[in-house]
Chains A and B, each alone.
Chain A
C-alpha cells in the first residue's frame, strides 16, 4: 500500500466535504421533503381525522338510516298488512261491485222501462198540453162569447122587463075594462029590469057578477105577483118584531070577534126589504086566520129557530091543514088546496110569499096534516152571513 499524498488527502478531504455538503444538501432537501411530507402527513392526518369524523357521522347516518329502514320495514309490514286488508276490502268491494253491477243492470233495465214510460208520458203530456191549449183557446173564445151573450141577454132582459111592464099595464087596463062593463051592465039589468026577468034569469045575472068580480080579483092578484117580481128591493136591517107588530095589530083588530089565541116570541133582526117582509107576515098570518076559521078556539103561534147560518121563522096554526101529497102545489101561482067555496082565495098569496123569500135568498116550505093544522117555515140568512 502506497501512502496517500497530501494533495491526494486534500482532494480526498475536499471530496469528502463535497460529499458531506451534498449529503447535507440532500439531507436538507430530504429534511425539507421530510418536513413537507410531515406537513402533508399532518394534513393527511387532519383529512384522515376529518374523514374519520365524517365516517363517524356517516356511521351515525348509517345507523339512522338503519333505524329508518327498521321503521320503514315496519311501515312496509304495516303497509303489507294494510294491503292485505285492502285486498280483502278490494275483494269485498269487488263483490259489492258485482252486486252493484247487477243492480246497475237492473237499474238500467228499469231506466229503460222508465224512460220509455217517460217518453210515453212526455208524448202524452205534449198532446195533453196541445189539447189544453186548444181547450183554453176554446174556453177563452167561449168566455168572450159568454160576455157578449151576457150583454145581449142583459139588454134582452131589460127589454123583456119593459115589455112585461107594458104587458102588465095592458092586462091591468085592457082586461079590467071589459070586466067592468060586464059587471056594470049585468048590474044595470038587474036594477032596471028586475021585474021582467024571471028568477032563473036573475040567478044567471048574479053568477055573471060573481064571476066577473072573481076574475077581477084574479087579475089584481096576478098583477100583485108580477109587481113583486119587478119590485126593486131596498135591503136593510129589519127588526122582525116591529115588522110583525105592524102586521099583527091590524089583523087582531080586524078579527077581534074571532077567538084566536096568539103566541109569539122575541124575533131576531134580519137583512131584508121591510115592505116585502110585511107582505110575507101578512100573507102567512091571514092564511092562518083563514084556515082556522072552523076551529072553536084557533091557535096561531109565531116563532123561530136559531140555526148555524140562518134563522128559520115559522107560523103554526091548528086549522084544517092539508094532505102533504099536494104540498108541491102549495107555492105555485093559482094553485089551491081548498075549493073557493070552502075558503076564499085566488092561490096567489103563497106564490107571492115564495117569490119574496127567494128574492131574499131564503127557502120556504110547509108541514101539515089534514085537520091537524099547518106550519109554514121560511129561512133567512143571519145578517153576518149576508154577502151583499
Chain B
C-alpha cells in the first residue's frame, strides 16, 4: 500500500469536528486527518503559510469542506481553489448540515466534486463518512500534479 495521504477537514464547529473524527475512526480508515477551522486557515494549510509553513509538502487526498464558517466560508474557499491552477485539481467534498444551502448549484459550478448532507442519525453519518473516506482517500486516483 502506498503512503496514506491526509484528509483535510475544514470545519468550524468543534462538536462536528469531534463527531467527524470519530466517524472516520469508526470507518477504519487509517489516513491521517488534518483539521482547520475556516477558509483562511485552510488556505494557509494548502499554501504552506502561517503555522503550516513547516508542514510536509503534500496535498491532501480530499478536502471535506463545510459551508457555513466564520472569516472565509466554504464557497469563498472553493472559488479560490478553483482559480488556482494546481489546487483546482484537488478533490473537494462539500459536507454540510442542510439541503437548503443556497450554494448547492454554485458549489458544483465552482468545481466541487461531491455534495453531502450530513445525516442527523449518527449511524447514517458514520456510513456516509466511511463511504466518502474510502472512495476519495483510497479508491480515487489523484491528479499527478498533486502527487509532487
Contacts and interface: CB of A to CB of B under 8 A. Distances in A.
Interface string B60-102: 0000000010000000000000000000000000001111111
B1 interface: no
A216 interface: yes
Contacts of B99: 172, 220, 223
Interface in A153-212: 165, 168-169, 171-174, 176-177, 179-181, 183-188, 209, 212
Given A173-B68, A177-B16, A183 B100 contact: no
Contacts of B97: 172-174, 176-177, 180
Contacts of B68: 173
A184 B100 contact: no
Given A177-B13, A181-B19, A172 B120 contact: no
A216 B120 contact: yes
Could you say which interface size class chain A belongs to? 20 to 34
A169 B100 contact: yes
Contacts of A181: 15-16, 19
A173 B120 CA distance: 11
B122 interface: yes
B77 to A, nearest CB: 17
A180 B100 contact: no
A287 interface: no
A213 to B, nearest CB: 5
Nearest to B126: A187
B98 A173 contact: yes
A176 B120 contact: yes
B19 A185 contact: yes
Interface string B96-113: 111111100000000000
Name the prevailing secondary structure of the A interface residues: helix
Contacts of A184: 15, 19, 22, 122, 125
Interface in B107-145: 118-123, 125
A213 B124 CA distance: 11
A2 to B, nearest CB: 204
A176 B121 contact: no
Nearest to B19: A184
B98 A169 contact: yes
Interface centre among B19, B96, B101, B102 (most CB of A within 10 A): B19
A223 B100 contact: yes
Contacts of B119: 180, 216
Contacts of A183: 120-122
A346 B62 CA distance: 37
Given A181-B19, A188-B22, A213-B120, A173 B100 contact: yes
B75 to A, nearest CB: 13
Interface of B: 13, 15-16, 19, 22, 68, 96-102, 118-123, 125
Given A180-B122, A184-B125, 19 more contacts: A168-B100, A169-B98, A169-B101, A174-B97, A176-B97, A176-B120, A177-B13, A179-B120, A184-B19, A184-B22, A184-B122, A185-B19, A187-B122, A187-B123, A188-B19, A188-B22, A212-B120, A216-B119, A223-B100
5 contacts: A169-B102, A180-B16, A180-B97, A180-B118, A185-B15
